[in-house]
Structure 1
Amino acid sequence: MPEVMFAGPDGRLEGRYHHSKDTGAPLALVLHPHPLHGGTMNNRITYSMFQAFQRLGFSVMRFNFRGVGRSQGRYDGGIGEISDAAGALDWMQSVNPNSGGLWIAGYSFGAFVGMQLLMRRPEISGWISVAPPATHYDFGFLAPCPTGGLMIHGDADEMVVEPGVRKLVDKLNTQKGVSIDYRVYEGADHVMANYADRIGTDLEEYVRQTMARKQMALAAD
């Protein structure tokens, strides 16, 4: 799992990158929680999602937003962090010019950044959002949401109450051609400390099923 340093919009950014042996493998970018609340690319949930994509055969990266770890720059309220994530995608795509699809996954603040990136990068073909901060940020920009995805939340989340996330899911599911797989973990709080393995397993299952359905649809055309 080599360490990489790549150019971001506000200086060099630190990441960990796994390169698939398959030249046509899909890509995945995993985004960590809030930089001002201890979030780093080594967060347990972030790392579990990284490992799940690795098991799926993806080329996958997790990285530190500006000002975290060895990444240069300073926290920018989410705006600069969206640009950081776009820079990470640019780097991965330059290394993998023949990649077969692109997924974005984020936890908490990383889920918000990931959904913002989804609206800016039409090549993103799937997404995973864990504990999205739907009561802290306005997700109204998802209009329309380009594609369906997997959303995971805990019913004991004390920072982002579950009904607020369910309201977002219900709104997205009214959009034409969009289907959100929403999974609520009983007893899980915002940290989800004991649920990392389950998140990795659910991610793997969802991505496999989604990619299989798309392949079947292509074969039927």
Structure 2
Amino acid sequence: MPEVIFPGPEGRLEGRYHAQKSKDAPIAIVLHPHPQFGGTMNNLVVYNLHYAFHNMGFNVLRFNFRGVGRSQGEYDQGIGELSDAASALDYLQSMNQNAKHCWVAGFSFGAWIGMQLLMRRPEITGFISVSPPANMYDFSFLAPCPASGLVINGTSDRVAPPRDTHVLVEKLQEQKGITVTHSEVDGAGHFFEDPHMEKMIGTVTDYVTRRLGETSR
């Protein structure tokens, strides 16, 4: 497992990085769920997203937010975690200066952080937002949402109820110039426990593969 340590705003951050042989491979970072509720970069959704992107030819990095695992610092209500994500993207870009595509994927709390990063970094060309907690966090900063992406959730999610996700998606889909695709996994809960993980990852893979194919024409 390729462990990496890179500088963050409050000290070192711990991550896992998988590279491709191609010098111009696309890049992606994957953001984990809430640090105060057991969220780490080894969460199964995050782990599976990481390998899905790697299998699609991406240089991919997942990491622990401040105060998690070997990452230094303390939980900072999402403000510091957004800075951590920006540092992770800086680190990934420094090693992959020829990358033509840059994606961000996040799960739950990580989806909220990922969408904020999207607003700050115009080089991000696509996003995957898994189980975004629209009932807990304000997503109104997405005005307008600067890139197209996929929102995916389970129909039996009790942590981030589907009705709140629907409201978020409807607002995003009203915006011009981008396309926000929404997919639901029937019967899946917040964490996509088996047998739903495979369906979720398959949907993400199909979506990203299609987007990459469109841009390569």
TM-score, normalised with respect to structure 1: 0.96
Rounded Cα–Cα distance in structure 2 between residues aligned with 1:157 and 1:204: 21
Residue in 1 aligned with 2:201?
200
RMSD, aligned CA: 0.9
Alignment of 1:131-170 (within 5 A): 131-170=131-170
Alignment of 1:1-221 (within 5 A): 1-194=1-194, 195-216=196-217
* Superposition deviation, residue 15 in structure 1: 0.1
Aligned residue type for 1:72: Q
* Superposition deviation, residue 214 in structure 1: 2.0
* Superposition deviation, residue 119 in structure 1: 0.1
* Superposition deviation, residue 101 in structure 1: 1.0
Stretch of structure 1 that moved more, 206-215 or 32-41: 206-215
Q: Tell me, yes or no, if the aligned pair for 2:192 and 2:200 is still in contact at 8 Å.
A: no
Gaps of 5+ in 1: 217-221
* Superposition deviation, residue 162 in structure 1: 0.4
| Secondary structure class of the residue paired with 1:100 | coil
* Superposition deviation, residue 97 in structure 1: 1.1
Rounded Cα–Cα distance in structure 2 between residues aligned with 1:126 and 1:22: 20
Q: Percent identity?
A: 54
Stretch of structure 1 that moved more, 28-37 or 186-195: 186-195
Stretch of structure 1 that moved more, 180-189 or 123-132: 180-189
Aligned residue type for 1:180: V
Gaps of 5+ in 2: none
- 4+ residue runs of structure 1 moved beyond 3 angstroms? none
Q: Deviations over 1:200-221 (max 9, x none)?
A: 22111111101111223xxxxx
| Secondary structure class of the residue paired with 1:72 | coil
Residue in 2 aligned with 1:219?
none
| Secondary structure class of the residue paired with 1:82 | helix
| Secondary structure class of the residue paired with 1:6 | strand
| Secondary structure class of the residue paired with 1:201 | helix
Q: Tell me, yes or no, if the aligned pair for 2:185 and 2:199 is still in contact at 8 Å.
A: no
Aligned residue type for 1:71: S
